[in-house]
Chains A and B, each alone.
Chain A
């Protein structure tokens, strides 16, 4: 992996975490009045996809989509403004954190119903397949999506038509507070299930961003060359509570040991150490990038705070074509 790419991956992870932590520090002000599902701890898969995809490739996602939107190049101030319910938000205040969109960069939408965008992503790929070019569609899914019927129906159709789809599964072991053990039979591999449908599959460590990048790059190359839809499962872990800014290791659905174990495998710390060791980065680089990111994020929150709320009359707009 060349140095520029390495630095990009690290920078993108640091940026996403800083955005999420920016939400954390301000959330109790009760100005962001919508549920937020943060990606702190699981930045690796997002930025790896972001570095592989082109702007003309498309992506869709679910409730935990801040990292996906940002990695695809989504407008940061518009996302923060959306979470603040402002007119300048990416959905003009209609959607909030669980509904993000930035069509300019191919982020076609994230929605709040688990599995809801899976067939939509396959449909976008159907449309792509009927045109020219080798663009693909990335469908971001959590481990719980493999429990929805619509995943199987959609994946089957993608295989049937050999559509250009990447199913990017972030397996963080939990759906809300429910471990995989109450949702899937013991010993089952999600990638194994996907293989049974006929998807090409690979799996690896999502907290190792270089490994994630290599797996995704290989899968996307296959899709672009007509190899059919691929499923990449990346193991990772959400640090903060399922929904909201706090930590919730105290409520008893997972152990502090498990949490600490995953925290020790922080994707950002690990990659930082690696790039330091091979001298791809130094303290100066880190400080400069950190400062630039902090400045960008401060500006985004300022933009959101200073933006106007939508006019009340806007509650009736956007329902049908004018």
Chain B
């Protein structure tokens, strides 16, 4: 085990994969540049050569299709986008080719491509550098969608994605890049489709993903001091969802709150609430709730993001309502030492 950041854990995972299998390719805008995609690809080209680790033109759709073709030709491409929003240009190749190939040709060949997309938030990222569209990808049969929260999972899910036989959309939150944690060495894999229980408690089940799992963790720990104890389930994969873990928890607690980094309408949170309402109807003691982004784009001005973002205090308040107990949550906001629109003092912009 060694302590490293989420970004370093991704770099570690890429290096392990490149080292282990000569079929692994790593490419994307800025992959070999001096900033190395927020440090996640730093030095990989020097280590593994420019035939396997390379920059690309600003041709997202073509370079995705080229990745699909390379995958069909036996490679394991890892394509990186500095923002999810840029990957939107490649939806055709992702949805019509990568996701469908195995199915539409009767199961002959799959497309083992991994597509990393980074989700932005706050500090002026604005309408087109902050979208968290996991629900779009999770909607598509044939894709798998992972959203790691911890450095260990960042590495473990990346390795599982790269060596999966089907296309995986790997969504990483910019605000998690500096998060530190213990990461096992070598080819450490976390299985796709399995959630992780971050906290155990019988009063309510809180399901979250990515950055929201960290916010929910702060909320859960804060409420535990007040005698409210939650199961906190970090989804880790949003397609396929680990239903047994969620259902087992809800059967015990009878109460569910899902916290989502995406827009509310048509989101993952709504999907989970719907499914649990059906499968755990008799166990529910309160109406299942969701807390997601409002159904408007994120504005650029900090005056418009303060009340827009979901943070620990909002989650604590929602849990209090769910368990029907008066809880204190204002101090979560009061104790925050950095402005609301940055993940911590380490972030000074610009992106």
Contact = CB atoms under 8 A, between A and B. Distances in A.
B307 A312 contact: yes
Contact of B304 (A36, A252, A310): A310
B247 to A, nearest CB: 35
A113 B128 contact: yes
A98 interface: yes
B303 A312 contact: yes
A32 B30 CA distance: 25
Given A177-B30, A251-B35, A114 B58 contact: yes
A144 B57 contact: yes
A73 B303 CA distance: 28
Contacts of B125: 34-35
A56 to B, nearest CB: 28
Given A147-B59, A149-B62, A93 B128 contact: no
Nearest to A96: B300
A319 B296 contact: yes
Interface in A277-318: 309-312, 314-316
B351 A93 contact: no
A276 interface: no
Contacts of B341: 33
Interface stretch (A42-50, A163-171, A178-186, A202-210): A178-186
Contacts of A36: 350
B141 interface: no
A284 B307 CA distance: 52
B175 interface: no
Interface string A103-144: 000000001111100000000000000000000000000001
A277 B294 CA distance: 61
Nearest to B30: A176
A182 B123 CA distance: 31
A243 interface: yes
Contacts of B33: 176-178, 253
B294 A33 contact: no
A316 B350 CA distance: 25
A170 to B, nearest CB: 15
B58 A253 contact: no
B333 to A, nearest CB: 15
Interface string A181-198: 011100000000000000
Nearest to A84: B301
Contacts, number: 140
B300 A99 contact: yes
Contacts of B86: 113-114
Contacts of A113: 85-86, 88-89, 128
Nearest to A316: B296
A176 B348 contact: no
Nearest to B348: A30
B54 A315 contact: no
B301 A94 contact: yes
B30 A178 contact: yes
B301 to A, nearest CB: 3
Which residue, A144, A148, A184, has most C-beta atoms of chain B within 10 A? A148
Contacts of A184: 57
Nearest to B122: A33
B304 A94 contact: yes
A175 interface: yes
B127 A33 contact: no
Contacts of B303: 85, 87, 93, 309-312
B90 to A, nearest CB: 10
A87 B35 CA distance: 34
A67 interface: no
A145 interface: yes
Contacts of B155: none
Contacts of A87: 303
A72 interface: no
A65 to B, nearest CB: 14
Contacts of A251: 34-35
Given A112-B128, A112-B129, A244-B349, A310 B58 contact: no
B167 interface: no
B304 A243 contact: no
A227 interface: no
Interface in B294-344: 294, 296-297, 299-308, 341
B129 A93 contact: no
A143 to B, nearest CB: 10
A66 interface: no
B58 A85 contact: no
A22 interface: no
Contacts of B304: 85, 93-94, 310, 312, 314-315
B339 to A, nearest CB: 8
B126 A95 contact: yes
Contact of A33 (B88, B89, B302): B302
Contact of A94 (B34, B58, B300): B300
Given A94-B126, A251-B34, 18 more contacts: A30-B348, A85-B302, A94-B304, A99-B127, A112-B85, A114-B86, A147-B57, A149-B89, A175-B29, A178-B29, A178-B33, A182-B55, A183-B58, A244-B349, A251-B35, A312-B304, A312-B306, A315-B299
Interface of B: 29-30, 33-35, 54-59, 61-62, 85-86, 88-89, 123-129, 294, 296-297, 299-308, 341, 348-351
18 contacts: A32-B124, A34-B349, A35-B124, A89-B301, A93-B304, A99-B126, A99-B300, A112-B129, A113-B85, A113-B89, A115-B58, A148-B89, A177-B33, A178-B33, A183-B57, A251-B35, A309-B302, A312-B304
Interface of A: 30, 32-36, 85-87, 89, 91, 93-99, 111-115, 144-145, 147-150, 175-178, 182-184, 243-244, 251-253, 309-312, 314-316, 319
The 5 closest A-B pairs by CB, nearest first: A34-B124, A85-B301, A93-B301, A96-B300, A309-B303
